[in-house]
Amino acid sequence: MKRIKRVINYKIISLIILIVIAIYFIADKKIEESSECQTDSDCVKVQTTCCSCNSGGEEKCVAKKEVEYHERQLENCSKDSFCISMYACNIKSCGCINGECIGK
């Protein structure tokens, strides 16, 4: 009886691990697909840190489909964040090069 319980527990744990791995790869593929672009107009510049690039923060070019994700990430920023007075805006515009959004 103990052996049967051990086998069942092993199968349940294995199934859970497989489900977690599958979810990881599916989520990773969706992120890759969403960063694809066809034309320059598919790409936009987004703020990636709590401080804007005008205040020492970072920016990058992403597909329009990813903008909402980055905006949600910024919701986690504290209202009391300390930003420095350093201009770090390096991206003038975004373009689609070989299916990737790249800063110009």
What does each of the 104 residues of the chain score in pLDDT, given as a tens digit? Answer: 778 878 787 788 888 887 777 776 666 555 555 558 999 999 999 999 999 999 999 999 999 999 999 999 899 888 888 888 899 999 999 999 999 999 98
- The reply to whether the predicted model has a pTM over 0.95 is no
Domain total in the chain: 1
Q: Domain of 67?
A: 45-104
- 85 domain-assigned: yes
Q: Going by C-beta distance under 8 Å and a sequence separation of 6 or more, which residues neighbour residue 55?
A: 83, 84, 85, 86
Residue 17 domain flag: no
Answer whether residue 76 is part of any domain.
yes
23 within domain boundaries: no
Task: Flag whether 32 is in a domain.
Answer: no
Q: Is residue 100 a part of any domain in this protein?
A: yes
